[in-house]
Amino acid sequence: MLKSLHIENIAVIEKTDIDFSEGFNVLTGETGAGKSIIIDAINAILGERTSKELIRTGCSSATVTALFCDLSEYAKSALKDNGYDVDEDGNLLIIRRLSVSGGSSIKIGGLPATASILKIIGKHLINIHGQHDNQGLLNPESHYVYIDRLADNGKLLTDYYNEFHHLNNVRKELASFETDEAKKQHDIELLSFQINELTDADLKIGEMEELKKKLNAAHNAKKTREALLKAYSYLNGDEDNDGAFSLIRNAQKEIASCGEAYKDVELKFGEILASLDDASSSVRQSIKDNEALDIDLDAVEDRLDLIRRLTLKYGGSEQSATEYLSLASEKLEQIKMSDEEIKKLSLELDKSTERLIELGDKLTFSRKNAAADFSKSVTDILKFLDMPNVQFEVKISKGRYTKHGCDEVEFMIGTNAGEEVKPLSKIASGGELSRVMLAIKSVIAGYDDVDTLIFDEIDSGISGRAAEKVGKKLKEVSANRQTICVTHLAQIAANANNHLLIEKSVLDNRTYTAVNILSGDERIKEIARIMAGSNMSENIYKSAKEMLERNF
C-alpha cells in the first residue's frame, strides 16, 4: 500500500508530506486547493507522462517521492522481473524528479529506471479511477475488459490472440502467392528472359574496370606501334624514301673518295652507322613485342557495351546486376513452386481458422458464465447504492473476429421499474455512471492484484442518501485494500478512517498548499464546511458530529 507521499515544487505545492493509512483515506478541500495536484503527483510516481508545466513557477525542478509497504506478491514479482526489489524491511521507495529543461530522473529502490519500466511496475501498485473511466463505460468496446478480468481469461486471451495473429500471417502469405494465371505466366517469361540474359553475360564484379584498363592499354599500344614503325622507316627507308642508313652510307662513300686525309671522318660515319644499327635492332624488337600484345579492340568495346547496358538495366552496377540474377532465380523458383505452397497454406489457413473458432467459442463460454455472476453482483451493489429498481445485464452477442475475440460485449441497464434494459451509454446519468463504476470496481476488486485503489471524485453527480451509500461501499471496499478518495461530499468523507485536508494559502503574493491529517474537532469542522460552506451554524456543526459518530 501507499504509506507516504513527499511532494516538492509541484504547482502550488512548495513542499508537503502526506501520510496514508490502511483502510479508507479521503482528501477534501476547497475548490482549487490542490486536490487534483495530489493525483497528478501520484500519476507521476506511477510512470505516467508528465509536463514541465507541473513544476512550480520560479523553480528549476520538482520531486515526488512515494514509499510503499506490504507489497503484494504480484508487485514483488513485477519488481524482480524488471531487476528491482524491496528493501530489507519489505518497503519500496520510488523517486521521480522533473526538470524545467525537460529532463527527468527516476529511481526505484535506489536504482535508476525509465518511465516505461516504472509504468509497468506502477500498474501493480495503484489503480486510479477518475471521471475519464466513467466515460470509458460509455464505450461498449471496452466492456469485455471487465468481464475478462472477472473470468480470469488471461491465458485464454493470450492463446486466442496468438492464433489470431498466426491466421492473419498465413492469410497475408497466401495472398502474396495467389495471382491470376495470365500475370503468373507473364512473370515466368519475363524472369526467364532476364535470368538467361544475365547468365549468358556471365558478369563478374570488377570486369568493367579491367576492360577499361585493357582498352586504354590497347589505344596506347596502337599509338606506340605507329611511332615505332615510322622510326624504323626513317632509319631503314621505304619504297619511296631512303632511310638514315642509306643516306649516311652514301655520305661515308663520298668522304672515302676524298682520300686518306678524311679517314677519321670516314671512321666516325662508321661509328654512327653501328649505333644506328643497334637502334634499328631495338626498334625492330620493340615492334615485335608490341605486336605480341595486340588486343582485339572491337571485342573489348563490344563486351564493355554489353556490361554497361546490363548494369544500367539491372541496378547500375555489376554487384546489383549479380544480386538481381540471384533474386530473380529465387522468385522464379517461388512462382513455379507456388501451386504447392498455396495448397500447404490453404490447408494451414483452414486448420488455423478451426483453432481460432474453437478458442473463440471457449472465450465466449467463459465470458457468458462470468457475465451472469457479474450482472447479479453489480445489480446487488447498485441497489445498495440507492438504485432500488435497477436492472443490470451484460449482453454478449456474436460479432466479427478481432484480436479480442468474436464477442460484442455491452453493459445494459434499466434504472426505473417496468423499463426494459437499454445500453448503458444511452440512458445513464453522471451520478449513475459513478455508482455503476464503483459497483464494477467493487466486484472485480477481489480479482485485482493492486493493493491501493484511488477514486478521484467518484461522487460526481450524486448527493443525499446515494452519497451516504457510496461512502459505506467505499469503506467496505477498503476492508480488503487501501482506498483513497478525493471527494467533495460530507457523507463520503465521514466514512473515512483517515481524513486529509488540503488547504491553500497566499503569502507574499505566492500560493502555498499544505496537507494535514484531521482528527477530533478539526475533522468535525471540515465535515461541517463541506455541508454548509462558510455558513456554518451550531446545528450544522452538530449534524457533522452526528454524521461522524454514526459512521464509527
Does 427 score more than 90 pLDDT?
A: no
DSSP-based three-state secondary structure for 455:
strand
Each residue's pLDDT tens digit, 450-461:
889 888 877 777
What's the pLDDT at 355?
A: 96
Q: Where are the beta strands (DSSP E) in 219-302?
A: none
Does 263 score more than 50 pLDDT?
A: yes
Does 446 score more than 90 pLDDT?
A: no
What's the pLDDT at 96?
A: 94
What's the pLDDT at 292?
A: 44
43 φ/ψ angles, rounded to the nearest 5 degrees: -60, -40
Each residue's pLDDT tens digit, 144-196:
988 998 888 989 999 999 999 999 999 998 887 766 666 778 888 898 998 99
Each residue's pLDDT tens digit, 211-229:
777 777 666 767 777 777 7
Does 528 score more than 70 pLDDT?
A: yes
Does this model's pTM top 0.85? no
* Greater pLDDT, 392 or 249: 392
Each residue's pLDDT tens digit, 88-105:
999 999 999 999 887 789
Q: What share of the chain is helix, strand, coil (3-state, %, to 5)?
A: 60, 20, 25
H or E element, residue 18: strand 13-19
The dihedral formed by the CA atoms of 416, 417, 422 and 426, expressed in degrees to the nearest 10:
-10
**Long-range contacts of range 301-308, CB-CB < 8 Å, 24 or more positions apart?**
301/215, 303/211, 304/208, 304/211, 304/212, 304/215, 306/201, 307/201, 307/203, 307/207, 307/208, 307/211, 308/208
What percent of the chain is modeled with pLDDT above 90? 34
Mean pLDDT throughout 62-69?
Answer: 95
Homologous superfamily of 1-133+456-518: P-loop containing nucleotide triphosphate hydrolases (3.40.50.300)
Confidence bin at 134 (pLDDT 50/70/90):
low
What's the pLDDT at 550?
A: 84
> Which three cell numbers mark 368?
457468458
Mean pLDDT throughout 26-32?
Answer: 85
H or E element, residue 113: strand 111-113
What residues does each domain of the chain span?
A: 1-133+456-518, 200-313
Each residue's pLDDT tens digit, 226-243:
777 787 787 788 777 888
Q: Are 471 and 489 in contact (CB under 8 A)?
A: yes
**Stated length of the chain:** 552
H or E element, residue 133: helix 131-137
Mean pLDDT throughout 278-299?
Answer: 72
Mean pLDDT throughout 533-544?
Answer: 84
CA atoms in the 13 A half-sphere facing the CB of 117: 17
What's the pLDDT at 133?
A: 63
Please provide the average confidence, as pLDDT, over all residues in the chain.
86
Q: Which residues pair with 106 in a beta bridge?
A: 96, 113
